[in-house]
Structure 1
């Protein structure tokens, strides 16, 4: 089960502490966040330069939400 994602403000705070030279252990203890979470946020910031949530990998959605609504309308071709 996944937990809720962290706010952008909290992720930015992690990056600020990382840039000031704090270690993962001290940051995780101060912010009460798991050390792996802190490290993954800083690695993502180093790689992409942002702390925003990125789009995930996977197949794109076949139909838009508007297209899916069309399935709920009655069939006009029925006899």
Structure 2
């Protein structure tokens, strides 16, 4: 496996790990909101849920764009 392939694999696993982290945060937010006994804790759980969903939507795309191979660096077929 070439060095470029190893780097691509590491980056892929990083993006998957970020998605898993966001999912875990969303589940935590649901658990907190679902087991809350007062309104403030429910709002806190909802805020964690919304922040995790935002994290899942934005952060992996940011890294994918940042790590995208430039057009001039791709080999022509």
Normalising to structure 1: TM-score of the pair? 0.29
- Name the structure with the higher helix share: 2
Which has the larger Rg?
Answer: 1
Q: Which has the higher contact order (CA 8 A, sep 6+)?
A: 2
Normalising to structure 2: TM-score of the pair? 0.30
